[in-house]
Amino acid sequence: MSIFLERFVIAVCVAVFVAAIVNSLRLDKVQAISLAVAAIAVAVFAARTVELQQRRNPSSEALSTSVQPDNRNASTGSMVQESQNPSFDRPLTSGDSRATEDSGRPGAIRGDRLPASDTEAPRLAGFAIPSRVLDARTGPVSVEFLAQLVDDLPGVAGRDYSSSPTQVRFRSPSGRQFVDAIFSYPQLIEGTPQNGRYRAFASIPQYSEAGVWHVEYFLLVDQTGNTATLHEKDLQVMGFPTTFTLAE
């Protein structure tokens, strides 16, 4: 009901009420007018109070109507306030560590249960030796190795890991000398232990054996102790370098 109509109804009720009082008390004209004015003033004040109260405290139905549009898409995850990255809000399915969307597109997570365990070793996604010819005749040198390491769940072995971490070993031509390079958290230069780039160095002493040094193995280790070992032929098949040379 509009405010105008409410006031009209109140005015009619007041007029009837005043007429009844005047008739019952047999008041004169001045007294009847004074009583009517006072009654109308009280009625107008009451109507104004009700109007202000309604503006300050809208009904629950109005509140429900104003909130509903914001929640309409909550079930589909389209509300930005709920998550700026909804793909991380949904847990992994047990045994589905690579995680694809429900529609089959790669890159998001599906399922409703966390995996019970991890038994997969890390993967070597990239490997490089920037300087493959070195000279240790006048002093010790360092050979640099770059690696891209990927592990689905716990990440490559790093902080607080107490056993042998991810590493690569190279042996001299005679097999009597070797050097190791460690790939752990201090060597992480970009990304995360689940998918990161590492830079490691191996120190070669002065007067080390000259010639071509070959990779003996590449040990991959994750934070839960899962391991995999790649040998020279494995790296060759993957298209990665397997040697460096010390000048004679």
> Which range has highest mean pLDDT (14-23, 33-42, 57-66, 187-196)?
187-196
Q: How many CA atoms lie within 13 A of 207 on its CB side?
A: 0
What was the pLDDT predicted at 152? 87
Q: How far apart are CA 108 and CA 2, in angstroms?
A: 54
What was the pLDDT predicted at 186? 96
Q: How far apart are CA 39 and CA 16, in angstroms?
A: 11
Q: How far apart are CA 205 and CA 154, in angstroms?
A: 35
What was the pLDDT predicted at 30? 73
Confidence label for 79 from pLDDT (cuts 50, 70 and 90): very low
pLDDT reading at 76 higher than 90:
no
Q: How far apart are CA 198 and CA 145, in angstroms?
A: 8
Please write the tens of the pLDDT for every residue from 128-171: 999 999 999 999 999 999 999 999 889 999 988 888 999 999 99
Coil, strand or helix: which one is 153?
Answer: coil
What was the pLDDT predicted at 7? 64
* Average pLDDT rounded to a whole number, residues 217-223: 97
Please write the tens of the pLDDT for every residue from 97-130: 333 333 343 333 444 566 668 899 999 999 999 9
What was the pLDDT predicted at 41? 73
Average pLDDT along the chain: 76
What was the pLDDT predicted at 117? 86
Q: What's the one-letter identity of residue 50?
A: V
Helices 29-56 and 3-25: crossing angle, nearest 10°? 150
Is 245 in contact with 208 (CB distance < 8 Å)? Answer: no
Confidence label for 11 from pLDDT (cuts 50, 70 and 90): low
Provide, rounded to the nearest whole percent, the portion of the chain with pLDDT above 90: 49
Please write the tens of the pLDDT for every residue from 32-65: 677 667 777 767 677 677 666 666 654 444 333 3
Angle at 95 between CA 89 and CA 96, to 5 degrees: 50
